[in-house]
Structure formats: C-alpha cells, structure tokens
Amino acid sequence: MNDSLNFSDDNIMLVTGGAGFIGSNIVKLLVDYGHKVRVLDNLSTGYLKNIEKFDVDFIKGDICDNDIVQKAISGVSVVFHLAAHIGNVKSLSNPQEDAHINIIGTLNILEASRKLSVKRIIYSSSAAIFGELLTMPIGEDHPQNPDSPYGVSKLAGEKSVLCFGKLYDIVVVCLRYFNVYGQNQRYDEYGNVIPIFANRLISGKSLTIYGDGEQTRDFVNVKDVAMANYLAAAKAEKSDVYNVGSGQNITINQLAQYIQLASGISTSIEYAPPRKGEVRHCRADISKITNKFGFRPDCDIQKGPKEYFEWFREDFQPTPR
C-alpha cells in the first residue's frame, strides 16, 4: 500500500491542520506508509503531542498568512487541507471569523498550490453543506442548502477547490465528512457529541441531549477518514466529490446508551431544547467512494466508542464544573 501514491522519496505531503484531531490521524497514516510529511498548524485547536512522536517537518503558522502558506507548500506534491474553523454551532457566534478562515484561508492554499505546482489537493469538506436532508441516505448530488455559517463557508471552500481543479493542472478531491470520532478528539463544548458525553461521564455529570434524542447521525471512525484521504490521494484520476461516513446511522439516545456501556459508567440523561443550525437526520450514501476507491469503513459503533473512551480516559484533563 505504501507505494500507492507513486511519488519519489523526495516528495513531501503537506497536512494543514495536521496537529488537530483528523489531521494528526492522517499524519500517522502517511508516516506509517513511509512518506515525508510536513505539518502546518497554528495550534489554536491542535496539539503538538498529537504528532510529536512522528518524524515530520512542523511549521507553526496560519493559513491566512500568505508568507507562511508559501513556505509550507514549497516542494510539496500533495496537500491534505484540513485547517479550518470548525462547527455548526460555533460558527453562529462568529460567522466572520468562520468565513475568513474557511474561505480566504482555503484560497491562500489554492493560490500557493497553483504557483508551486502541487499535483493534488485533498480538501476536507463537511456534510454540513447539505443542510436538512430531503432524501435518505444522502448522495453526493443532494441539494446543498446549509443551515449554518460553517456549512456555507465549507461549501464556498469546496466550490473554490473544484474551480481551481477545472482551471489548472491539479487533481482536487473534496471529501464530505459526516460525524467523525476517535483518537485525538478532545472535549470541546461546541464539538462532537461523543467527546462531550465522554467528558461528562468521566466528570460524574449527567448527559445532556438537545431535542428528544431521536435525531440520527452517521458516525465514522477517524481511522477510516484517514484512509479515505489516503485512498483519494492515491487513486483519484480526476477531480470529484465523495461522501465519507459509515453508511449507517443511530439515534443520539442510542449513542448515549453505547457510550455508557463503553465507559462502564451509568448516569442520568437530561433533555434540553433543540439547537439552531443542527439537522434532524443524517446518513451518508458511501457507494461512490466505495466503488471508486475501495473504501470500506468499520461500522461497529459499539466497538469504536469503547476504544475511544479508553484513549479519552488516559488523556483526560478535568474541566471546570
């Protein structure tokens, strides 16, 4: 598998946001397969300890800084672009910052890639671009009507990437992530529900579910997301978009049961009003990426949380009550 990218030993793979949750898992996979890796991260949400055991060229900097971006992309053949302002709910409080990072920052990456002859760009997009689903499961051709500034900015970034793929000699692939979870995903009050549940369980708190808990989500392990990125870089022959999920969904009520079983900790559940910017149901159609690249995720949603909670317990730092 490590020969799949078909580049010489001198080629460098850049991972923007490579010290973050998903990015660090991509870094690990690339290093495991013997590739030279460079990481660009401003450490606003990333952690050096995620990548400190890997032999990588680390540049601390921001994708909104053109000089830093030019330095990071110099000599690079493939860019995995993950650096972003992330989260539907988080974007509601600061839509300007969200747009600046996700749109202008992405354009900086694209312009530098064009000027410095990057061969491939793998762009991390999001299922947030779809908005409320009209059909299930959701295919790549589903209407795109985002319900949050984050969804809007990721869609704008995706359109920009695809535009550059048409205009210039670059193969670009947009990967639309559904609900990613796994190792290196730390607690954030605006983040994914799994680390929020894990944090509350280990802190001895009840679980809070927004709405009635019957809303559904497609949870995909970050190991599978990292492999999807690698397969896209290795096998894509032309620019395109692909869903990256498990192809299954569960209710948040079910998830609350699974995470309690995985942790061995039982607690009460409190229900709060639904939050703005969040869809009711979600499940990915992953047949396109499966047929094209051979992507086959591990869909065991009961095993995954157990592995995650074991990591989370070791990494846990108390948060204020």
**Extents of the domains making up the chain:** 12-179+221-244, 181-217+248-284+299-315
- Which pLDDT value is given to residue 318? 63
The residues facing 240 across adjacent strands are 173
Neighbour-count burial of 52, counting CB atoms closer than 10 A to its CB (0-12 exposed, 13-18 middle, 19+ buried): exposed
Residue 163, CB-side half-sphere exposure with 13 Å CA sphere: 10
At 193, which amino acid appears?
V
For 181-217+248-284+299-315, the fitting CATH number among 3.90.950.10, 3.90.25.10, 1.10.260.40, 3.40.50.300 is 3.90.25.10
Q: What angle (nearest 5°) sits at the alpha carbon of residue 228, between those of residues 47 and 116?
A: 70
The Cα 237–Cα 131 span in angstroms is 29
In this predicted structure, what is the pLDDT of residue 2?
A: 43
Q: Which CATH number fits domain 12-179+221-244: 3.40.50.9100, 3.30.1380.10, 3.40.50.720, 3.40.50.1220?
A: 3.40.50.720
Instruction: Give the integer Cα–Cα distance in Å for 24 and 11.
Output: 19
Q: Quick check: helix, strand or coil at residue 218?
A: coil
- Choose, from 33, 47, 123, 150, the residue flagged as catalytic: 150
Strands 207-210 and 269-272: parallel
Rounded Cα distance, 28 and 35, in Å:
10
Q: What is the pTM of this model?
A: 0.93
* Contacts for 314 with CB less than 8 Å, ≥ 6 apart: none
What's the one-letter identity of residue 153? Answer: S
Structure tokens at 281: 């149901």
The per-residue pLDDT for 3 is 43
Q: Identify the bridge partners of residue 217 per DSSP, sorted by sequence position.
A: 250
pLDDT digits (tens, 9 = 90+) for 131-190: 888 899 999 999 999 988 999 999 999 999 999 999 998 999 999 999 999 999 998 877
Cα–Cα distance for residue pair 5/37, rounded to 1 Å: 13
Q: What is residue 8's predicted lDDT score, i.e. its pLDDT?
A: 53
Based on the residue annotation, tell me whether 150 is a catalytic residue of this protein. yes
Nearest CA among 116, 197, 187, 122 for reference residue 161? 122
What is the pLDDT, as a whole number, of residue 200?
95
6 contact partners, CB below 8 Å, separation of at least 6: 234
Can you list the residues of the chain whose pLDDT is less than 50? Answer: 1-3, 320-321
Amino acid at 163: C
7: Cβ contacts below 8 Å, ≥ 6 apart:
35, 77, 78
